[in-house]
């Protein structure tokens, strides 16, 4: 068998390292990778010497011409396609499973993550909106206080103008009194409008936050049946041949 130790990386995932054995009862190095491979879970279990009772089988004839370089070339040419792996994709959370991860394990991981990458982005957005709401609420409180102060000031000015019209003698001017009253009330109207705008901003943010929280809750409800199944192969530039050897399996 040809032993191949490899490493590859799929987009946005950690590197995967593994060992495979490919039968060499074929006519050329390229055909080795058309055979059914054996996955080796423990590389250290491969011994440097066979037991005394075991004899080594003969090497395939093509090695006389191809040699080790032929094996290396075939491995590098075919390895990326050979490492094509089945993955699951969750469109709702926009998250992809890891290489070799089962549908059930993927669902459990998404659930423990609270909804995967999308939920993480939503939580980040939620925190920003909560900060915006805090600032908007503080602004609304300030606008309310300004309006109350303007109303009190306006009432005093109108009251002073009315008293002046009664006790000012011949110098009292009713038109001036009306203008002062209108000016005072105009300031209150402006403050009232700013308070309304601030209140509308607070309510809009509260609705946005409620919507984001609903999205997070939906993302956290993981149904494995919704996962799409895909087959991905790493790029050749993301694939490495770490080791190759000839081994005998008994």
Token pair 């308070």: residue = 195
State the pLDDT at residue 237. Answer: 92
Task: Name the CA radius of gyration of the chain, rounded.
Answer: 38
Q: Does residue 66 carry a pLDDT above 80? A: yes
Query: What is the rounded average pLDDT of the residues 174-202?
Result: 65
Q: How far apart are CA 54 and CA 41, in angstroms?
A: 23
Q: What kind and span of H or E run contains 102? A: none
State the pLDDT at residue 17. Answer: 94
Question: Given pLDDT bands bounded at 50, 70 and 90, which one contains residue 238?
Answer: very high
CA angle 33, 34, 35 (to 5 degrees): 90
Q: Does residue 47 carry a pLDDT above 80? A: yes
State the pLDDT at residue 13. Answer: 82
23-37: pLDDT as tens digits:
999 999 999 999 999
Burial class (CB in 10 A: 0-12, 13-18, 19+), 85: middle
121-180: pLDDT as tens digits:
777 888 888 888 888 888 878 777 776 765 666 555 555 555 555 555 555 555 555 555
SS3 content of the chain, % helix, strand, coil (to 5): 60, 15, 25
Segment among 112-116, 179-183, 202-206 with least mean pLDDT: 179-183
Provide the percentage of residues in the chain whose pLDDT is more than 90.
40
Within 13 A of 163's CA, how many CA atoms are on the CB side?
Answer: 6
State the pLDDT at residue 100. Answer: 83
State the pLDDT at residue 250. Answer: 87
């Amino acid at each position: 068998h040809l032993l191949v130790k490899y490493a590859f990386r799929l987009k946005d995932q950690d590197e995967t390292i593994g060992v495979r054995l490919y039968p060499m009862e074929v006519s050329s190095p390229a055909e080795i990778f058309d055979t059914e491979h054996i996955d080796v879970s423990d590389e250290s279990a491969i011994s440097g010497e066979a037991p005394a009772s075991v004899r080594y089988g003969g090497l395939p004839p093509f090695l006389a011409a191809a040699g080790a370089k032929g094996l290396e070339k075939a491995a590098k040419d075919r390895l990326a396609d050979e490492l094509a792996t089945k993955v699951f994709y969750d469109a709702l959370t926009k998250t992809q499973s890891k290489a070799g991860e089962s549908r059930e394990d993927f669902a459990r991981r998404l659930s423990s993550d609270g909804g995967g990458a999308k939920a993480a982005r939503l939580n980040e957005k939620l925190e920003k909106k909560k900060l915006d709401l805090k600032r908007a609420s503080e602004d609304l409180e300030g606008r309310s206080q300004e309006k109350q102060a303007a109303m009190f000031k306006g009432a005093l000015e109108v009251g002073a103008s009315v008293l002046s019209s009664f006790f000012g003698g011949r110098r009292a001017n009713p038109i001036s009194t009306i203008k002062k009253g209108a000016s005072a009330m105009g300031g209150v109207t402006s403050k009232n409008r700013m308070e309304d705008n601030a209140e509308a901003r607070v309510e809009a943010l509260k609705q946005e936050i409620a919507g984001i929280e609903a999205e997070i809750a939906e993302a956290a409800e993981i149904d494995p049946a919704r996962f799409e199944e895909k087959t991905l192969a790493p790029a050749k530039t993301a694939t490495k041949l770490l080791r190759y050897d000839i081994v005998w399996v008994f």
